[in-house]
Amino acid sequence: MYNAHPSEKLIHAFRQKPYQGCCPTQAEFLFIGLDANYAPNIEEQKIFSKIIEYHEDAISFWQKYNVHHPFLLDGYKGDGRKYHKEFSKIRLSCKDASRISFIELLHLPTTGRNDLKSSDLDKNHLQYIHKAIFSEHTKAVFISDAVFKLMKKTSIFSWMNDAKQIEGHTLKVFHEKKPLIYKHLHFSTYGKFQAQKEEEIKAIHDIILGSNISDLT
């Protein structure tokens, strides 16, 4: 079950582009999440026009405002900010805007707490994610354990294996052939797992910015 976001404008933006960042089938690095969560009153916030601007052209947005997501701009209040604040610790720049894509298993934006089931997911959207994962452009995919567990329950991703350690890699992998599908802690994780998350963020930085690219083939 999930709480679909009440904003028709936001839902329309997702129907036009059911992802965030650059186009998933053109991206080098995919970050797959459960659902795109927004403050319930997002339309009432001054930043809403920036949210729509981002969804219309995320690459230009990053280059214009020098942040990868509008949740990092002053004025946004609501869910999702911590995730993207932690993601920014990977230390990417606007030069990477055309390389990074965020796509969620759920095809619609949400609000509040959600408990997704495989029956909530849209088959066409899952097929699009599958296509993006195996695009000729994709070098690596990053997902959390919760995302893996939900993907595994679908027929489209039933082939995925439990995460395993590969020599020379900090992150475990769900798929060790190209593209590698890496397991990482959710970026909103905190507390006793903070140190592990920081280590994983450094590993993701190295993978994306080149020091481990030769290991991806």
pLDDT at 79 over 80: no
The mean pLDDT value for 114-127 works out to 97
In a domain, 35, yes or no: yes
Amino acid 5: pLDDT: 95
Q: How many domains does the chain have?
A: 1
The mean pLDDT value for 141-147 works out to 96
pLDDT at 65 over 90: yes
Amino acid 6: pLDDT: 96
Indicate the pLDDT class of residue 167, thresholds 50, 70 and 90. confident
In a domain, 69, yes or no: yes
**Under 8 Å CB-to-CB from 211, ≥6 apart: which residues?**
none
- Total-model pTM: 0.93
In a domain, 137, yes or no: yes
Other C-beta atoms lying within 10 Å of the C-beta of residue 99:
17
Structural domain that includes position 147: 8-211
The mean pLDDT value for 58-67 works out to 97
Give the span between the Cα atoms of 109 and 111, in whole angstroms.
7
Amino acid 166: pLDDT: 86
In a domain, 3, yes or no: no
Amino acid 217: pLDDT: 44
In a domain, 2, yes or no: no
pLDDT: which is higher, 109 or 188:
109
pLDDT at 181 over 70: yes
203: domain CATH number is: 3.40.470
In a domain, 117, yes or no: yes
In a domain, 217, yes or no: no
Residues pairing with 164 in the sheet = 173
The mean pLDDT value for 159-179 works out to 89
